[in-house]
């Protein structure tokens, strides 16, 4: 069985699991991100973390995104929806 098939069998991630993944990606304290947080109000929402998110989406979720997709994101919740 291929790894792709194994990933298809995995249960979907919860929002809590996704937030933990984002906290790790953005190197922020556990429990510090909330779905309603406005990205433009967060110091962490810089060009490096935007690029990191692009890579994460491609490598972990098989969903290539680009700068236009990033510009549409307004909250952490928007990122969570994109991670589905």
**6, part of any domain:** no
pTM of the model: 0.85
Instruction: Report yes or no on 76 lying in a domain.
Output: yes
Q: Is residue 58 part of a domain?
A: yes
* Domain enclosing residue 65, as ranges: 37-84
**Residue 22 forms part of a structural domain:** no
Is 5 within the bounds of a domain?
no
Assigned domain for 21 exists: no
Average pLDDT of the segment spanning 59-81:
96
With respect to residue 24, please indicate whether it lies within any of the assigned structural domains. Answer: no
Model confidence pLDDT, tens digit, residues 15-59: 999 999 999 999 999 999 999 999 999 999 999 999 999 999 999
Q: 46-81 burial string, b = 16+ CB within 10 Å, else e?
A: eeebeeebbebbeeeeeeebeeeebeebebbbebbe
Domain count, the chain: 1
Instruction: For residue 42, tell me if it sits in a domain.
Output: yes
């Amino acid at each position: 069985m291929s790894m792709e098939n194994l990933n298809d069998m995995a249960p979907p991630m919860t929002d809590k699991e996704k937030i933990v993944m984002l906290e790790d990606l953005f190197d922020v304290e556990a429990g510090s991100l909330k779905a309603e947080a406005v990205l433009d109000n967060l110091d962490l929402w810089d060009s490096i973390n935007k690029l990191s998110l692009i890579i994460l989406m491609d490598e972990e979720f098989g969903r290539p995104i680009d700068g236009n997709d990033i510009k549409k994101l307004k909250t952490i919740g928007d990122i969570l929806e994109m991670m589905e």
